[in-house]
């Protein structure tokens, strides 16, 4: 189906006001079904329905000639650049004879966006699919036919695979499917809405002593309106890239500096499941530090510059305060002896100051060395560190903030750690549930349980509680009071929460999603969400939607969706309220299973993924559109 927009000057005679005409011979939906066939470029459709992950995100979609089962009618709204509805078209799937089109006539020349909603009937109409086109021009001399990438609410819609646009169906997203593999990459949403993803491990070398992961330097741009990743290019047509390869880093856009990006921290390489794990070696260890603390990318000039500043240890814990313009690097491992480090650094995210050497950098010492902690910034500029390992015991929770003289001060929290019935962990997942400046509540979940026995790192244990809340009150001086900290345990862990190195992302209204991570490096037959694709491992394939109950003592499970792939080290990035990008990650480790256990994997084989998915929260698409524009 193609929605065409006819300018006012081409209206039929005697048309006094803009009218809507629907000419629908067929609606050609592009909906994946198993292994998809190659698209015929003669098939035209303005609505492109995303594959679900169960169909496999690597394959091009299959033209089915029909609407998805949960769409009874379509509402196509024409919006001006201010978001005001100018006209709307309502139609259903009423014929499958040949490709057709729906035509809006009498549209004044101008710049518009086509907003399309798929509606499902019932006692209350639901908005089950939705998408918006790029902004486009309607000219007097030309009829426009914008393309809209449709995502399904409450599901995982594939992105990053073959282009689904009928105008260029074989376009592989600037070879993203081939060259976009990454695990532990970084991403950010720029002020102008562009989504950037950089670096990550893109090379994998399996060894008996542990899989060596090597970082890349690629920079990709993702457009949620098309579901496609493309490279970014400078004014001379050269591809933008990081100054040096890095993974396990963060990426931010400096406040007010559109066209500039900063990549901070990270490592050049690391070893997954090294010898000695579980034990005194972490699951991802043996890291090789980056040479430059900060990478300054000027997209307009097509340049990247490495900048050395003070830094914490190798594989330091990172946190970003976009409001205050700081990135924190805390702890990690000392590069000389490999022991946990006790240094913390705040770096100002000012691109110009970084380039001319005047950037504001603060250095301080933590209350104790720590490696594999979680960290978040609060609205007051206070950095809260939870979990991790000191080298011989679990690290206590602590807070770092700038004192009145401008120096960094660290204080152990009054709780010391989690509640007594909750196991301290390394690599916990953290999220800020609320932060008013007067009171804050943080969620801590999962990670590797730590103890004082011979084995310091253990696999996540479904029998141990690892979920808890950390609550803080302000001290009246513009900071939170470390001594006010209280710890509240959550109820028994859910199966989907038993994982380490996972990401937690808010989708609005108190709901969050948990994605990626690993449960252990052993097979667990029958465990939900654990796939055995390569070696013997259990990396959850699930995305869990959840919230904390009103009493603040338990988890409310709002849904568990299963991916077709495991994604250790996946990038989870919130794009809009209710819209999350999950991209890349590792689908296994070690040698793939073959009849010959000693045979090396094929040269083209890698468990590192390039594709991903968009998760759209139920209610993200306005159900009022369906109620206001019924089919009959």
pLDDT tens for residues 337-372?
Answer: 999 999 999 999 999 999 999 999 999 999 999 999
**Structural domain containing residue 152:** 2-171+621-628
pLDDT in tens, 51-102: 889 877 877 655 555 788 899 999 999 999 999 999 999 988 644 344 457 7
pLDDT digits (tens, 9 = 90+) for 417-459: 999 999 999 999 999 999 999 999 999 999 999 876 666 888 8
Report pLDDT for 7. Answer: 87
User: Mean pLDDT, to the nearest integer, of 301-309?
Assistant: 95
307 close to 355: Cβ distance less than 8 angstroms: yes
pLDDT in tens, 467-516: 999 999 999 999 999 999 999 999 877 888 899 999 999 999 899 999 99
Q: How sure is the predictor about 104, in pLDDT bands with cuts at 50, 70 and 90?
A: confident
**Inter-residue contact 426 to 450 (CB < 8 Å):** yes
Q: 525 - beta bridge partners?
A: none
Which two three-digit tokens encode residue 76? 């196509």
Angle 55-60-64 from CA coordinates, rounded to 5°: 70
Q: 10-17 — which CB contacts under 8 Å span 24+ positions? A: 10/105, 10/140, 10/143, 11/105, 11/106, 12/105, 15/105, 15/106, 17/106
User: Per the domain annotation, does 347 fall within a domain?
Assistant: no
> What pLDDT was estimated at residue 246?
98
SS3 176: helix
Q: What is the pLDDT of residue 26?
A: 25
Helix (H, G, I), strand (E, B) or coil at 82: coil
Strands (E), 126-209: 126-132, 136-138, 148-152, 156-159, 186-189, 195-198, 201-205
Q: How far apart are CA 217 and CA 180, in angstroms?
A: 11
In a domain, 87, yes or no: yes
Q: What is the pLDDT of residue 214?
A: 97
Q: Structural domain tally of the chain?
A: 1
Other C-beta atoms closer than 10 Å to the C-beta of 225 total 17
The two tokens of residue 344 are: 């913390």
According to DSSP, residue 61 is labeled P
Cβ–Cβ < 8 Å for 385, 317: yes
Residue 487 forms part of a structural domain: no
Domain presence at residue 207? no
Mean pLDDT of 598-625: 83
Q: Is residue 126 part of a domain?
A: yes
Q: What is the pTM of this model?
A: 0.91
306 confidence band (pLDDT: 50, 70, 90)? very high
Instruction: Flag whether 599 is in a domain.
Output: no
Per-residue pLDDT, averaged over 172-180, amounts to 86
- pLDDT value, residue 591: 64
Residue 112 lies inside a defined structural domain of this protein: yes
User: Does the pLDDT of residue 567 top 60, yes or no?
Assistant: yes
pLDDT tens-digit series, residues 236-255: 888 999 999 999 999 999 98
Q: Which residues contact 632 (CB under 8 A, 6 or more apart)?
A: none
Given this model, what pLDDT does residue 625 score?
95
Extract long-range pairs of 92-96: CB within 8 Å, 24+ residues apart: 92/67, 92/631, 93/27, 93/29, 93/66, 93/67, 94/24, 95/24, 95/25, 95/26, 95/27, 96/26, 96/65, 96/66
What Å distances lie between residue 470 and 398, 415, 426, 444, 552, CA to CA?
Answer: 11, 9, 16, 8, 11
At residue 294's C-alpha, the angle toward residues 293 and 299, to 5°, is: 160
Average pLDDT over residues 204-223: 93
Who's near 231: CB < 8 A, 6+ residues apart? 174, 218, 219, 220, 221, 239, 240
SS3 188: strand
With respect to residue 136, please indicate whether it lies within any of the assigned structural domains.
Answer: yes
Confidence of residue 565 (pLDDT cuts 50, 70, 90): confident
């Amino acid at each position: 189906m193609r929605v065409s927009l006819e300018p006012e000057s081409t209206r039929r005679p005697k048309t006094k006001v803009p009218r809507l005409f629907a000419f629908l011979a067929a609606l050609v939906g592009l909906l994946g079904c198993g292994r998809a066939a190659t698209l015929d470029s003669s098939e035209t459709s303005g609505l492109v329905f995303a594959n679900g992950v169960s169909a496999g995100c690597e394959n091009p979609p299959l033209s089915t000639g029909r609407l998805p089962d949960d769409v009874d009618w379509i509402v196509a709204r024409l919006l001006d650049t201010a978001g005001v509805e100018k006209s709307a078209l309502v139609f259903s799937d009423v014929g499958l004879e040949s490709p057709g089109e729906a035509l809006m006539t009498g549209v004044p020349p101008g710049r518009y966006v086509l907003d399309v909603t798929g509606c499902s009937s019932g006692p209350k109409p639901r908005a089950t699919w939705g998408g918006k086109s790029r902004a486009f021009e309607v000219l007097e001399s030309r009829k426009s036919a914008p393309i809209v990438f449709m995502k399904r609410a409450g599901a995982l819609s594939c992105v990053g695979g073959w282009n689904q646009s009928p105008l260029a169906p074989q376009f592989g997203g600037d070879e993203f499917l081939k060259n976009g593999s990454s695990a532990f990459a970084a991403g950010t949403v720029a002020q102008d809405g562009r989504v950037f993803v950089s670096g990550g491990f893109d090379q994998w070398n399996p060894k008996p002593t542990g899989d060596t992961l090597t970082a890349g330097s690629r920079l990709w741009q993702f457009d949620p309106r098309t579901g496609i990743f493309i490279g970014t290019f400078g004014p001379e047509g050269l591809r933008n890239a990081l100054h040096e390869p890095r993974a396990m880093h963060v990426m931010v856009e400096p406040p007010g500096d559109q066209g500039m990006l900063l990549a901070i921290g990270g490592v050049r390489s690391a070893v997954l499941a090294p010898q000695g794990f579980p034990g005194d070696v972490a699951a991802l260890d043996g890291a090789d530090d980056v040479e430059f603390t900060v990478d300054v990318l000027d997209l307009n000039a097509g340049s990247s510059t490495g900048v050395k500043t003070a830094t914490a240890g190798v594989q330091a814990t990172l946190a970003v305060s976009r409001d205050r313009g700081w990135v924190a690097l805390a702890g990690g491992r000392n590069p000389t002896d490999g022991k946990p480090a006790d240094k913390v650094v705040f770096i100002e995210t000012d691109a110009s100051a970084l380039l001319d050497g005047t950037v504001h950098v603060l250095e301080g010492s933590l209350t104790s060395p720590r490696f594999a902690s979680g960290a978040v910034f609060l609205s007051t500029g206070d950095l809260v560190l939870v979990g991790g390992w000191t080298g011989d015991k679990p690290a206590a929770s602590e807070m770092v903030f700038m004192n009145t003289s401008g120096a960094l001060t660290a204080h152990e929290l009054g709780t010391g750690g989690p509640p007594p019935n909750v196991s301290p962990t390394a690599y916990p997942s953290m999220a800020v549930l609320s932060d008013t400046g007067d009171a804050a509540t943080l969620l801590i979940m999962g990670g590797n349980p730590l103890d004082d026995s011979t084995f310091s790192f253990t696999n996540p244990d479904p029998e141990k509680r690892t979920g808890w809340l950390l609550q803080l009150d302000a001290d009246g001086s513009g900071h939170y009071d470390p001594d006010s900290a209280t710890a509240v345990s959550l109820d028994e862990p859910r199966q989907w929460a038993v994982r380490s190195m996972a990401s937690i992302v808010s989708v609005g209204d108190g709901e969050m999603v948990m994605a990626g991570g690993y449960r252990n490096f052993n097979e667990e037959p029958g465990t939900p969400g654990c796939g055995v694709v390569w070696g013997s491992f259990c990396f959850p394939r699930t995305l869990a939607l959840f919230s904390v109950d009103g009493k603040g003592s338990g988890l409310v499970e709002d849904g568990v969706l299963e991916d077709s792939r495991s994604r250790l080290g996946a990038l989870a990035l919130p794009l809009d309220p209710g819209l999350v990008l999950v991209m890349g990650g590792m689908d296994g480790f070690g040698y793939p299973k073959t009849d010959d256990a000693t045979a090396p994997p094929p040269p083209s084989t890698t468990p590192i993924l390039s594709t991903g998915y968009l998760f759209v929260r139920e209610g993200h698409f306005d159900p009022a559109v369906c109620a206001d524009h019924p089919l009959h």
